[in-house]
Structure 1
């Protein structure tokens, strides 16, 4: 059984050496990969000196790095962790055991049930984490505690089935939703979170990256729950049509005359658009189920290939 430690990095020279050393100590049997995402410091040199296999991803953004990692590396268990030394290497063996024993396809390192709010004093980051968690749990009928954690473990089936769309920090949200909507087994483990060391700077922009995550949530709702998404849009359009139409109807009952013909035409057009929107949702809902069947066939094929190996 092969285990790969995946560490995406951008300007983490102050911490990457310790991260690699910690994981080598805790998991000497694992291959440790550091993917350098255009660092301007000596992250690559320090990681290589510490014993990591260093590769480079020149398309900027964490999502692009994870895409390359998942495409390039073949293993039975994948453990992904940030290079900022905020996650405990001591938990990695527990993650590995859960994946290799097939108890889960994705293990989530749950910071929020542990020390995250004590260690992290960035108020807007904390608020954003709560908002994303509540939104995902509400729309996708789940009970996850930490959607955006940077420490996870994955099975081979998950990694080779996950079609990554994200380019940047939205990747964690996309992973969680993909696992939820495609019936992958998820397990959460509370982990101790340590705040960044002095000299280590967060690459996450609270506002711009937060907006990207929110846009990703709406895109995932549209793609993964199209009937619900387009039904809501249909309802909004019908309300708008009603705002235009009912004053005209009220005037007609009072006077017997149809006034504001252009407004009546606009309301009729909006109703037609609403009907078309609803049928788009129905069609996409059917296609989503067909895609789920194709994914199941893909997973069966993956398992057959693994047995032949």
Structure 2
């Protein structure tokens, strides 16, 4: 990509006890491709060295003591300084190297929201059989329930303009895992399919222990 993109970007990483994976995740995020790049963890009461590692890496630490995946992101959205927000997990699963080209796509095609499909290009070992089946079923449920032609309703990698929250209808309300699905449904309903699209990206085996509880989180998403 020739030249820097004339935009400010915040990459939000929700964390809870990610000391093993945080450093390589942060290191994988490209630098010097946009006017301003902010990398921020939203930490939910980590008891390991997660926050210490973040500070050593020179990235911003935003504390969110209230529990919940959705709560972490909602807090992070408000705190983010960038005009463009990128979300991804702090466990080396998402391909940070594609962030610049996805932000460029958002700008070049005048989009407002991109969600990333993990299922199509998932690498071997990136999901257990149960996890993969659950994601597939939840995505089918989302398509049937909301008429939303989406491949991966549970993806946690999104690229969007912070300005979408100026519309109250685009502000998510869920504090738990269903926020992921809520964001995509709101984007399609409020922004429209020409402004909110899905792009397939690789998905890799996680580093460290997962904080997701497959059955409990899956049930919450179905109820949503």
Would you call these one fold, judging by a TM-score over 0.5? Answer: yes
Residue 194 (str. 1) matches residue 204 (str. 2): yes
Residue 144 (str. 1) matches residue 144 (str. 2): no
Q: Which segments of 5 or more consecutive residues in structure 1 lack a partner in the other structure? A: 217-309
Look up the match of 1:101. 108
**Distance between the aligned counterparts of 1:12 and 1:211, measured in 2?**
25
Look up the match of 2:78. 71
- CA change 1:160–1:74 in 2 (3 A) is farther
Structure with the higher fraction of residues in helix conformation: 1
What does residue range 1-309 of structure 1 map to in structure 2 within 5 Å? Answer: 1-25=7-31, 27=33, 29-101=36-108, 103-116=110-123, 118-161=124-167, 162-184=170-192, 185-197=195-207, 200-216=208-224
- CA change 1:70–1:13 in 2 (3 A) is same
User: 1:24 Cα shift?
Assistant: 4.7
Contact 1:61 1:167 in 2 (8 A): yes
**Distance between the aligned counterparts of 2:67 and 2:99, measured in 1?**
27
- CA change 1:114–1:24 in 2 (3 A) is closer
Q: TM-score, normalised by structure 2?
A: 0.88
**Distance between the aligned counterparts of 1:26 and 1:122, measured in 2?**
36
User: 1:142 Cα shift?
Assistant: 2.4
Range that drifts further, 67-76 or 22-31: 22-31
Provide Cα deviations, 1:57-77, integer angstroms capped at 9, x if missing partner.
010111111111112224221
Contact 1:63 1:170 in 2 (8 A): yes
* Superposed CA RMSD: 1.8
Q: TM-score, normalised by structure 1?
A: 0.65
Contact 1:78 1:155 in 2 (8 A): yes
Contact 2:30 2:97 in 1 (8 A): no
Find runs of 4+ consecutive structure 1 residues off by over 6 angstroms. none
**Distance between the aligned counterparts of 1:150 and 1:119, measured in 2?**
18
Higher Cα Rg: structure 1 or 2? 1
Q: Which has the higher contact order (CA 8 A, sep 6+)?
A: 2
**Distance between the aligned counterparts of 1:144 and 1:68, measured in 2?**
26
Q: Which segments of 5 or more consecutive residues in structure 2 lack a partner in the other structure? A: 1-6
**Distance between the aligned counterparts of 1:101 and 1:76, measured in 2?**
15
Aligned to 2:114, what secondary structure does the other structure show? Answer: strand
**Distance between the aligned counterparts of 1:68 and 1:121, measured in 2?**
28
Structure with the higher fraction of residues in strand conformation: 2
- CA change 1:40–1:206 in 2 (3 A) is same
